[in-house]
Amino acid sequence: MTEELKDIRKDLSKKLKKERFEHTIGVMYTASSLAMCYDEDIQKALTAGLLHDCGKYCSSKDQIKLCRKYKISLTDSELEMPALIHAKLGAYLARHEYKIEDQDIIDAITYHTTGRPGMTLLEKIIYIADYIEPNRKLIPGLAEIRSIVFQDIDRAVYLSAQRTVRYLKDGGRAVDPMTISTCEYYKK
């Protein structure tokens, strides 16, 4: 791990709640394993994994205030589902607070909650690493996704998007249109 990443890790260990930080470390290492499997840049995967939830250090209400302050545009569905907001805020913080200039990393952070059609390999890695990392509580279908992700990442992305859509709809909650688009795109 580079000195830069060690510094970011140290900073996040102070800012994030204990469980969130442990999740973050799980995503970082899961992302690096997937990067090795799929021949993606390991440092980029480590960096995006480490920073993917850096915008989750405060409440949803405060995240909205910060987005307004930093002129980060939010969609109606993001305002309706504040759990999504940390992705855009995190991408902003990665660039401006943690000095990440690599657009691939910024995009992986931006789309790690909803996915998007035609994701880059790094975006898929962070999206799925967030879903399958070892600290995640076991949810229906998680074992299946973990078992196939190292053979077929696109199928794993589809299954996780499908399960997210189903989970939200079954709970009577709104589903971000981007998640639905992701699900449709990766349905083979």
φ, ψ dihedrals at 185, nearest 5°:
-65, -40
Both tokens of 22, joined, read 């442990």
> Which residues are within 8 A (CB) of 145 and not within 5 positions of it... i.e. 6 or more apart?
128, 131, 132, 156, 159, 160, 163
What pLDDT, in 10s, does the model give residues 16-50? 999 999 999 999 999 999 999 999 999 999 999 99
Dihedral sign for Cα atoms in the order 115, 119, 123, 127? positive
Task: Report the predicted TM-score, pTM, of the whole model to 2 decimal places.
Answer: 0.96
| Least confident among 17-26, 27-36, 74-83, 178-187 | 74-83
Instruction: Please name the residue that has the structure tokens 């990393």.
Output: 105
Domains and CATH numbers, the chain: 3-186 (1.10.3210.10)
Closest residue by Cα to residue 66 from 52, 82, 51: 82
- Give residue 164's pLDDT band: very low, low, confident or very high (50, 70, 90): very high
What pLDDT, in 10s, does the model give residues 124-136? 999 999 999 999 9
pLDDT value at residue 1: 77
